[in-house]
Amino acid sequence: MKIMMIIKGLHQAPGGAERVFCEFATYLQNSHTVTAVTSDAIGEAPFYPFPSNIENIRMGIGNPHTPSTLGTLLHRIKKIREIIIKKKPDVVLAFMHSSFIPVSLALMGSQIPVIACEHTSIEHYKNHPIEKALYWTALPFLRHITVPMESIRLGYPSAIRRKMTTIENPVNMPPSSSTPLLQRNKRIISIGRFDESKGHQILLEAFASIANQIPQWDLRILGDGPLRANLIQRVKELKLEERVSMPGIVQKVEPELQKAQIFALASQYESFGLVVAEAMASGLPCVAFANCTGVNNLIKNNQTGILAGGNMKYTLMADSLKNLVADNEARRLMGISAQVNIAQRFNIETLGPRLEKLIIQTIHNSETRRF
């Protein structure tokens, strides 16, 4: 089969959806002809490892890391249509609404099926009415929509849910020789884009409120984004420069995770929470808010981590962190359980065939007419 996979950008894109794109592309290219299409500039390399034998078409349209203008969107739609006419794929997989909306419009009038790989919960669209309207516009032209969590699927209206299939995100397992948890640095780590929804400011205030009670511990936050300067300034105001580090984006997160003992995420919502799953795969007990969609399906409370109360208060996050810091044996056992849980649920050998089966069914159920 000829499979085309489209995502807005892979260069300098350390997000969860980009990693999943690369993982599934690597799996599918073993049995099929895979072509990747991005808006990256020619010559820009993907952030994550990507097979060199997969054709990677870089359109060089706009900035993949910023919202698209109407002109950029129309240009992207036109270029995508030209590429698809030339390549004649059997199916198109479009990752995230930033891709499946223009792809669906580009393929109007064709019979080439589009599978949208959604990595955003319904909560996002409640706060972005224009994107919500575009989503509903694209919906009739999407054959299927995959989501990474059943709870995410259930949050959507029934009209959308009927097209949705749950296929979880694959998670890389680190080498089994990683350092035992209690021998690692006394460190709380978090990873994510520095924006309002990720809640880094809540995590920082939580750590600051208990810093004097856990003097041997530090906080490390990986990532970048519009709130980075504000958070750095807040660290200075709290006089925690020696205890809180923000090194920016790192190419490989696994070594960073294996130097910490606790992973914390203060997000308001996640579609899956891939960074949490990766932390669990590294044997870290995780702390997050109980009402954070996606994450609250990954963490089993008091078994693989702690789900703090659901009202996003930093005091609740602080209490959960303090309790976990105080109990070495609980941390160790939760870390072991977390690693086992992830290994069983989210391996590519199980999830790859499920996506492949959906692709095959979609093609077989489609009409044969092409451009």
Any idea what the CATH number is for the domain that residue 90 is in? 3.40.50.2000
Mean per-residue pLDDT for 144-152? 92
Q: Do 353 and 289 reside in the same domain of the chain?
A: no
Q: Do 58 and 146 reside in the same domain of the chain?
A: yes
Mean per-residue pLDDT for 137-153? 92
Q: Do 227 and 358 reside in the same domain of the chain?
A: no
- Which range, of 123-132, 160-169, 272-281, 318-327, averages the lowest pLDDT? 123-132
Q: Does residue 369 fall inside a structural domain? A: no
**Per-residue pLDDT for 173 more than 80?**
yes
Mean per-residue pLDDT for 208-213? 98
- Which range, of 83-87, 112-116, 271-275, averages the lowest pLDDT? 271-275
Mean per-residue pLDDT for 135-139? 91
Alpha helices in 58-128 (DSSP H): 70-87, 97-106, 122-126
Mean per-residue pLDDT for 47-55? 93
Mean per-residue pLDDT for 347-363? 95
Q: Do 193 and 282 reside in the same domain of the chain?
A: yes
Q: Looking at mean pLDDT, say which of 9-13, 89-93, 120-124, 150-154 comes out highest.
A: 89-93
Q: Do 19 and 160 reside in the same domain of the chain?
A: yes
**Per-residue pLDDT for 371 more than 50?**
no
The pLDDT score that the predictor gives to residue 367 is 56
Q: Does residue 175 fall inside a structural domain? A: no
3-state secondary structure of 299: coil
- Domain tally for the chain? 2
Q: Distance between the two ends of the chain, CA-based, in angstroms?
A: 17
Which domain covers residue 241, as residue numbers? 181-345
Q: Looking at mean pLDDT, say which of 162-176, 271-285, 356-370 comes out highest.
A: 271-285
Chain centroid offset of residue 28 CA: 19
Mean per-residue pLDDT for 76-83? 95
Longest dimension (CA), the chain: 68
Alpha helices in 306-347 (DSSP H): 314-326, 328-345
**Per-residue pLDDT for 368 more than 70?**
no
Mean per-residue pLDDT for 272-291? 94
